[in-house]
Homo-oligomer: A and B are copies of this chain.
């Protein structure tokens, strides 16, 4: 489908299309025009047409988009019709929150293991997955094919753990630690820097208060 030339900007928008189309599906909507979708998503209809044309365009003039078909095609492009196996390193509250996240399995993400340094957590189970001690990580990676390592650990520990994961062939890191990782170029890193999100919020509040003389 020639999706190799798709810009990162379009790729960043695809999950949002997928989410909206999923909501439409849940509400029993079978087809939608780019104008209607535009109103809901608050992006221009021409942007929508342009983005979806990257994938050969699923729309028909005067008919609109077939919601189910478009949802499933974008899902394929996003790779969520395939299974990805993952481990979570860090079984604190955030690790638990992610492990309990029900959308994971719906989107092909299979949690195979959870690891922590805290011996008090050993024996605990999250959705049937036992928390193991961190020194069991390397033997585990040797006997399991893991695609994604999810890091919900302090930044002081993150470099060592990321290197262990990469050494054992893990090709993608979902990083929640407040630091950037320096990993080989072929390792895929998706950062979720909550502190930066919070600072953007703080910036906008400060501007708001300034403008309203509060």
Contact = CB atoms under 8 A, between A and B. Distances in A.
A96 interface: yes
A35 B209 CA distance: 35
Contacts of A204: 172, 188, 190
A202 B80 contact: yes
A78 B198 CA distance: 10
A192 B15 CA distance: 13
A195 B103 contact: yes
Q: How many copies does the complex hold?
A: 2
Nearest to A13: B196
Interface stretch (A16-24, A45-53, A110-118): A16-24
Contacts of A84: 202, 205
B171 A208 contact: yes
A179 B11 contact: no
Contacts of A188: 201, 204-205, 208
A60 interface: no
Contacts of A77: 203, 206
A14 B97 contact: no
A129 to B, nearest CB: 14
Contact of A82 (B93, B98, B201, B206): B206
B94 A203 contact: no
